[in-house]
Amino acid sequence: MDKYIEFVREAPTDAHDRFSIRNKRTGDHLGGILWHPAWKGYVATFSYMAIWTADCLRDVAAFIEELNNGA
């Protein structure tokens, strides 16, 4: 899991954690994971022009599921 990407905790802006999705090799910001009150759970946002493989998308989904199950 997480072969190419990593999830970096950022300073929270509210009661919930925020995470940056970064390329492990370059450190480039690829998107973010944040709490969305309307969805009552964590969601992903993706940077414009970031290219995603199915494996990386599965890693993001698995990370969000872990957060939402523990939230």
Q: Using one digit for the tens of pLDDT, what is the confidence trace for 1-20?
A: 578 999 999 987 778 899 99
- pLDDT computed for residue 34 by the predictor: 95
- pLDDT computed for residue 1 by the predictor: 57
| Domains of the chain by residue range | 5-70
Beta carbons within 10 angstroms of residue 22's beta carbon:
18
Beta carbons within 10 angstroms of residue 59's beta carbon:
20
- pLDDT computed for residue 2 by the predictor: 72
pTM, rounded to two decimals = 0.89
Ranges in the chain, pLDDT < 50 = none
Residue 22, both tokens:
């970064």
